[in-house]
Chains A and B, each alone.
Chain A
């Protein structure tokens, strides 16, 4: 158990809808990262927050947004969903540096 909690584990929705994925980092970790894993693209970095502030951005679509709350949990919002958004979404946390601890992921299926 990495200590990173993600909910829900599975999410099935329709195109055009909006969903919210939730992540609770390991106790004491200030950084939260979101990654997307798909068969063709592999693990892709989306966005990082540090202590409530956006720190870095990767290949995140404009339809996607995230935030980190004062209690350090984070949410990833995906809107106007398309079939191609179906993927595993991982949250990771770290105290400092590159050692990331990943949650078990949310499997998103857009039908």
Chain B
């Protein structure tokens, strides 16, 4: 079925380093979303992508919609301690009865050492 595979599962980096993470699927998606979840909070939408090849930025965050429509990438430049959290990719389900609702990857947990 539809599944989103995120890698890496976790990252431990030094403050100031750049971060790259990705999300892949065996299914084609027409929309990719990236969310961040901090401890004790719900996921917060960071970036939404709607077209293959699209590159979108939100401050130090940049996400890309893969050309094959089966993957997406998120980069964070010059990381800071407040970037700590779990980053999820998500895409709409196409299963009947559940159409349009989001499927989430298992997340990439980011830790930043000051």
- Chain A positions within 8 Å of B, measured between CB atoms, are 2, 4, 33, 42-45, 48, 56-58, 90, 92, 97-105
Contact = CB atoms under 8 A, between A and B. Distances in A.
B42 A92 contact: yes
A2 B106 CA distance: 22
Contact of A105 (B42, B44, B88): B42
Interface residues of B, number: 24
B48 to A, nearest CB: 6
Contacts of A104: 40-42
Contacts of A56: 97-101
The 8 closest A-B pairs by CB, nearest first: A102-B42, A43-B104, A45-B101, A42-B106, A102-B43, A58-B98, A56-B98, A90-B42
A4, A43, A90, A99 — most chain B CB neighbours (10 Å): A43
